[in-house]
Amino acid sequence: MGNMKILAGPKSEQLAQKISEQLNLKLLDISYKYFTDGETYFKIEGNLEKEDVIIVQTTYPNQEKRLLELIFLTNTLKELGADKVIAVVPYLCYARADRRRLDGEVVSHTITMDLLQQAGLDSLITINVHNREVFHKTTETLEKYNLSALPAISDFLKDKINEEWIIVGPDKGSQEDINTLSKELSLSSFILEKYRDPQSHEVQFNEADFDCESKTIILFDDVITSGGTAIKASKLLLDKKPSSLKFIVVHGLSDSEVFKKMYDIGVDTILSTNTVPRKDIEQIDISSLISNFIGEKFL
Ligand code: R5P
């Protein structure tokens, strides 16, 4: 590999800065501004001939804009002669429409990946992608890596928990992550039974028989958007009179109102990782997880 440099996309400057410091890699100079109609203007400085560049650009908030910016930056780096372009996209947008459930539905995950590849992207690194299996099968010739935020979450929790705590997953899809966390933290765990209406997307939970009275519960999910899952699961769990309920999520996409509702019903802590930066809750830093991976794989 040639010389590797880091390019911070809009809204991912802090993460890019951390990664560049941790890996001792130079941050490229880039200027950008938004025209009055909202379109983005970019100017990347310096000679990029034969350089390898890591773009750090999460794709939320404003998925379409962040994705298009990532495509523009990738394409331009290639046009400017960059050798390898690697994108670090901590939250990969549009990954949830990963298959056609109803006739005529758009499978946005595949299209997103194809667009990135067509822009010239060589490698994509993301974190807790929605569907790992589909992700790895999609756009086969694009080199893809899905990192898990769970080691960062376990490290964060390790010295705060005791054996009375329980880890809970809201649905079958969380089973693998819940198993990993419960093993890593030596805590007991269980999974709730969730049903989502395919038309209305409304979430419902089956009443379940579990004992968590006077215990501390960690409700863990990979993503929160409307908050339907987290709020309904929290209500169900709080009915069982735990001593406290904490919600931990990898990708915190919902607006602050959703978190306010959760606090109002009795959730005492809400944490997300900084795959999507936000100021209204405490965040678990995943920068070293990314840096370590880049260090091992690309440097
Ligand atoms: C579902 O498969 C995911 O793990 C989340 O539970 C879900 O996407 C969260 O979405 P919402 O906040 O809209 O319920």
Quick one: average pLDDT of 4-18?
A: 96
107 CA from centroid of ligand 1 (Å): 18
User: What 8-state DSSP symbol labels residue 215?
Assistant: -
Q: How far is the CA of 250 from the centre of ligand 1 (A)?
A: 11
What share of the chain has pLDDT > 90, as a percent?
A: 92
What is the reported pLDDT for 207? 84
What is residue 79's predicted lDDT score, i.e. its pLDDT? 97
**Is the CATH number of domain 151-274 1.10.10.1200?**
no
pLDDT tens, position by position, 276-299 = 999 999 999 999 999 999 999 999
Q: What percentage of the chain carries pLDDT values higher than 70?
A: 99
**Ligand 1, atom nearest to 170 Cα:** 6
What is the Cβ-side half-sphere exposure of residue 86, based on CA atoms within 13 angstroms?
26
Q: Is 229 in the pocket of ligand 1 (CB under 6 A)?
A: yes
Q: Does residue 177 line the site of ligand 1, with CB under 6 A? A: no
Q: Which atom of ligand 1 is nearest to the CA of 229?
A: 14
| Ligand 1 near 228 CB (within 6 A) | yes
Identify the residue whose tokens are 């331009």.
76
Pocket test residue of 134, 224, 247, 267 for ligand 1, highest count of atoms within 8 A of CB? 224
Distance 275 CA to ligand 1 centre (A): 16
3-state secondary structure of 11: coil
- Checking if the pLDDT of 2 tops 70, the result is no
In this structure, of 30-39, 200-209, 252-261, the range with the lowest mean pLDDT score is 200-209
Separation CA 163–CA 29 (nearest Å): 49
| pLDDT digit string, tens, across residues 137-192 | 999 999 999 999 999 999 999 999 999 999 999 999 999 999 999 999 999 999 99
To test the pocket of ligand 1, the residue of 225, 226, 256, 270 to mutate (highest count of ligand atoms within 8 Å of its CB) is 225
| Per-residue pLDDT reduced to its tens digit, 214-262 | 999 999 999 999 999 999 999 999 999 999 999 999 999 999 999 999 9
pTM attached to this predicted model = 0.95
R_g over Cα of the chain: 20
- The domain 4-148+286-298 is placed in CATH, from the list 3.40.50.2020, 3.40.50.10490, 3.40.50.12780, 2.40.50.140, at 3.40.50.2020
Q: For the chain, which residues make up each domain, given as ranges?
A: 4-148+286-298, 151-274
The Å distance, Cα 11 to ligand 1 centre, comes to 23
For the cut 60, the answer to whether the pLDDT of residue 1 exceeds it is no
pLDDT for the residue numbered 209: 80
Question: Helices 150-158 and 175-185 meet at what angle, rounded to 10?
Answer: 40
pLDDT band, residue 86 (cuts 50/70/90): very high
Cβ pair 272, 252 in contact under 8 A: yes
Residue 171 CA to ligand 1 center (angstroms) comes to 9
Residue 200: per-residue pLDDT: 86
Residue 83 pLDDT: 96
292 lines ligand 1 (CB under 6 A): no
CA–centroid distance, 235 to ligand 1, in Å, is 16
> Do 4-148+286-298 and 151-274 share a fold?
yes
Residue 9 to residues 90, 128, 129, Cα–Cα distance (Å): 12, 20, 20
Indicate if the pLDDT at residue 6 is higher than 90. yes
